[in-house]
Structure 1
C-alpha cells in the first residue's frame, strides 16, 4: 500500500490545546509531545488527503456518515475557545468513489451535507474529534484535503469492510494519503473522571494497546464484549475502520504515549505495515457465524425460547402456540418478564410486564419478545435480517415491595414509582445508572412525574438471563 504513508491513532481531548487547557494541558505533556511528533511526520509526508475517522460528528445508528460538501468548517467555541477555527476542503472525488463502492457492496454509508443534516436539526461542521488531531497537523502542514468520516454502530464486520473500501479507493486514486483514527480509550479510569470508575477501564486500555502493539488484530475482534461496554470508550470503532485499511498486511504498533490523568485514557500510536497474508476479514466472518450458531444452540431455556419465538414469528407471522417443548421450569411459574434486544451493544427494543399477564413465564417471554421486536415505540420494527446481530436478554421480575428511597440500590434492585395512574419502572444494573438519584430521575420521567412530586416507591429484584451466559 505504497500510497498510504501514515497510520495513526490520536486522542481528542480539547483540554490538550493550551487555549482551552490554560495550564492543565501540562498534565498531558507526553500526549502533547506525541501528537506533535505525528504532526511533524505528516508534514514531512505531505499527503494529498487526510482521512479522519471520528466518533463525535453527527452519528447515525444505521450508517457511516461521510461529510460531503466542497468545504467543511468548525471552531471550538463549545469549549470556550472561539479563536481556533478551521475551514478545510473536502476530497469530493474520494467521497464519490467510496460512496459508490459501499453502495455496490451493501455497506451502510451515507453522504451528509448541510441540507441533509438540517432535517435532524444538526449542523454540517467539524467536530472536536477531528479538530483536536488536526490542530496539531495544521501547525506544520495545511496543504491537504479532508475525508471526514463518522463511524456508526453497524458491527465489526461492516466497519472492517468499510476500512477495506478506503484502501481500494486510495489505490485507485493513486495519491498520497494519511489515515487518522480519532478516539479516546476508557473514560472510567478514576472516580473523578467524566464517568464513574470501572475496573474494566484499565483492563480495556491495556488489552487494546497490547494487541495493537503486537499486531494481534484478530484478538481485538475477540475482546470481551462486557469489558468493552463497561469501559466507556469511544476509540474502538475508529480503530476497527483503520484496521480494515491494513487488511492483507502484518502490522506493528508503536505506542508513542499513554496517559490518563483526568480519568480518560489517551493513547497515541503509529503503525508500521509489512507484507503478509493477514486475512482478518475471513476470521471476523467465521466468528460471526460461530456466534450465531451459539445463539441458536443456547442451552439457557429463557433466552432460547425468546429467540426461537422470534424466528418462528418471522417465518410464520405468528407466535409459538405449541408449548410441548418448553421447559417445565418456564411453565410452572408466573412472573412479570422483560425482554431486551441489543444490536451491536445498543438497545434495539425492550418491552415487559411488571406483573404476569399470562399463565406462565414461558408465555410471558413469547408475548414480550414479539412486543420488544415489533412494538417498542422508540424504534422501527426489527427486521428478520437483523436477528443474527441481535443479543437477547430476559429479566424475570420477582415480587416488588414498598420501600424508602434510602433502601434502593440501582445495581441490585429495580424500581417502580407511582402516583395514581402514573407509573414508571426501571430495571436494575443498567449501564450509566449508578446512583439512586439517577435511577429515580429516569423512572419518574418514564412515569410522567416530577421528582418533587409525591410518589410511592417499590423495589424489586430480577433474575437476568443473557445469551452466551
Structure 2
C-alpha cells in the first residue's frame, strides 16, 4: 500500500494571490487554475501530513533544515499583504523519525527551532515558498500537519537520498501523505524579469519539464551544468528531493500548466509512480562515478594539472615538482591565472594572480591550485575527502588594457579597478553579475574603493578551462 498519495511541483509567485497581484494575477491565470486543481485533488485525498520542500526559508549550507516547533506561522507582509496569514501544526513525530533516519544514513540534516535560529538572528517562520502553494490547498482542505523542509546545497545524491528517507518514514508511520516541491523555474526568461535575459533560461525550463514528463530521472539529474547555473532557478533541488521520495518505481509526469509571463517560469506538474520497478539510485551513483573518472582522465591539460597537483599534495604533502612532461603551452607561456574550486555548484575556494608570478602558466596553476584549496581566507581548508565532489576551473588572464565604463561587458571582460595602492579584480562571466554597475561595485568593494569616487579601470579577457 502506498502511503505517499500525491507528488507535485508547484511555483510560489506572490503575485498570483489577488491581494498582492491586484489584477496582475490574471496574466498567469493558467497557473492559478492548475494550483487550484491540485488543491482540490489534495482535498479529495485528505492527507494526514503534507511534506513541502522550499528554497526560501532559512537555509543552511551544510544541512537540510526541518522546522521542529509544535507549530509554525507566517504571513506575506513583506509583499505588502497583511491579511494572508497561516499558523500550521507540525508533524513532530515525523520530524523525529526523519531526523534519526538521516543521521543513520549520513545525510546532513538539522531539526530547526526558534532558539537555534536566534543564534543566526533570523526568525522561525513560514516563508512565501511555503505560503503560496499552501494558499491553494488551504482553500479546500486544512486538516493536516506540516513537515516543513528547506533544502541545502549538499549535493544532488544526498538530496535524492533524503527524499528516499521521507518515503520510508511515511511508510513506517503509516502516514497518508503528500509531497510538494515548491520552486520557480528560470528567472531569466525576459529582460523585464527579475534578472537579465539568458537563452539558457527557456532551455532549462523546457528540458526539466520534458524530463519530468517522461520520468527520465537520470537526465533530470544530468542536465548541462552551465545551463543550470545560468538559468537562475530555485526549483531543481526541491525536485531532487521529490524524485527521491518516488524511488523504486518508474515515474510519469503530467504538466498542468507552464507560464513565463513575468520573466519567471512557473511550472505546475503532478507526478505518479508507475507499476514497473526501477532503481534510479544505482543509476545515479554509477553515472556520478563515471563523471569522476572523466575528470581524472580528462584531456584538458589546464584543469588536469590543477587536479593532479591537488591529489599529489594530499598524498605527499607538497606540490608537483617535475613539470617536464607538461605541454608546451603550459611551459612556454606566462600569464596570470585564477584557479576556482566549486562544490555542489557553490564556490569552495578561488585564488589567482593578475599577472604572472612564476616562470610559466603551468607553475602558476600549481601554485594557485594549492592556494585556492588551502589558503582562501573565506573558507576552511579543503579536505581530501571533498575532492571527488569538487569541480575545478582555470582562468588564464590575457593582458589588461585601460578602458572606460562604456567599454566594459561583464560577460566578456573581467575588470580591474585601482586607486593608489588599492586594487580589486573581478573575473568575467560570473553568475549573478549581469551589469557593468554590479561588476564595478563588487570590484570596488573588494578593493575598499568608494564606487562613486574616481578610480582607474582596466579590462581583460580570459580563457576559461572547465572540467567536463
State the TM-score, normalizing by the size of structure 1.
Answer: 0.98
- Tell me the CA shift for residue 125 of structure 1: 0.7
Q: What RMSD over aligned residues (CA atoms) do the two structures have, in Å?
A: 1.1
- Tell me the CA shift for residue 195 of structure 1: 0.6
> Within 2, Cα distance between the matches of 1:122 and 1:206?
36
> Within 2, Cα distance between the matches of 1:437 and 1:263?
22
In structure 2, what is the equivalent of residue 253 of structure 1? 253
Other structure's SS at 2:268 match = strand
In structure 2, what is the equivalent of residue 89 of structure 1? 89
In structure 2, what is the equivalent of residue 24 of structure 1? 24
Matched, 1:200 2:222: no
In structure 2, what is the equivalent of residue 305 of structure 1? 305
> Within 2, Cα distance between the matches of 1:396 and 1:160?
36
List aligned pairs for 1:66-465, cutoff 5 A. 66-465=66-465
Other structure's SS at 1:314 match = helix
325-334 vs 36-45, which deviates more?
A: 325-334
> Within 2, Cα distance between the matches of 1:375 and 1:90?
43
- Tell me the CA shift for residue 271 of structure 1: 1.5
> Within 2, Cα distance between the matches of 1:75 and 1:129?
11
Other structure's SS at 1:271 match = strand
> Within 2, Cα distance between the matches of 1:174 and 1:332?
67
In structure 2, what is the equivalent of residue 41 of structure 1? 41
- Tell me the CA shift for residue 332 of structure 1: 1.3
- Tell me the CA shift for residue 411 of structure 1: 1.6
> Within 1, Cα distance between the matches of 2:340 and 2:427?
11
- Tell me the CA shift for residue 150 of structure 1: 0.5
Q: Is the 8 A contact 1:76 1:82 kept in 2?
A: yes
The superposition leaves residues 254-303 of structure 1 with CA deviations (integer Å, 9 ceiling, x where unpaired) of 11111111011111111122222211101110111011101100111110
The superposition leaves residues 353-393 of structure 1 with CA deviations (integer Å, 9 ceiling, x where unpaired) of 11111121111111111111111111222111111111101
- Tell me the CA shift for residue 222 of structure 1: 2.1
> Within 2, Cα distance between the matches of 1:346 and 1:367?
22
> Within 1, Cα distance between the matches of 2:454 and 2:304?
41
Q: Is the 8 A contact 1:337 1:394 kept in 2?
A: yes
> Within 2, Cα distance between the matches of 1:108 and 1:441?
35
24-33 vs 325-334, which deviates more?
A: 325-334
- Tell me the CA shift for residue 339 of structure 1: 0.3
> Within 1, Cα distance between the matches of 2:384 and 2:170?
35
> Within 1, Cα distance between the matches of 2:312 and 2:233?
36
> Within 2, Cα distance between the matches of 1:274 and 1:320?
53
> Within 2, Cα distance between the matches of 1:334 and 1:434?
30
List aligned pairs for 1:1-20, cutoff 5 A. 2-20=2-20
> Within 1, Cα distance between the matches of 2:441 and 2:326?
38
Other structure's SS at 1:2 match = coil
Q: Is the 8 A contact 1:213 1:253 kept in 2?
A: yes
> Within 2, Cα distance between the matches of 1:219 and 1:403?
44
> Within 2, Cα distance between the matches of 1:279 and 1:186?
29
The superposition leaves residues 13-50 of structure 1 with CA deviations (integer Å, 9 ceiling, x where unpaired) of 00001111111111111111111111111111111100
- Tell me the CA shift for residue 95 of structure 1: 0.6
- Tell me the CA shift for residue 312 of structure 1: 1.1
Other structure's SS at 2:278 match = coil
Q: Is the 8 A contact 1:192 1:262 kept in 2?
A: yes
Alignment gaps of 5+ in structure 2: none
Q: Is the 8 A contact 1:248 1:275 kept in 2?
A: no
> Within 1, Cα distance between the matches of 2:349 and 2:233?
23
Other structure's SS at 1:276 match = strand
- Tell me the CA shift for residue 322 of structure 1: 2.1
The superposition leaves residues 229-254 of structure 1 with CA deviations (integer Å, 9 ceiling, x where unpaired) of 11111111111101011111122111
The superposition leaves residues 42-83 of structure 1 with CA deviations (integer Å, 9 ceiling, x where unpaired) of 111111100001111111222111111111111111100121
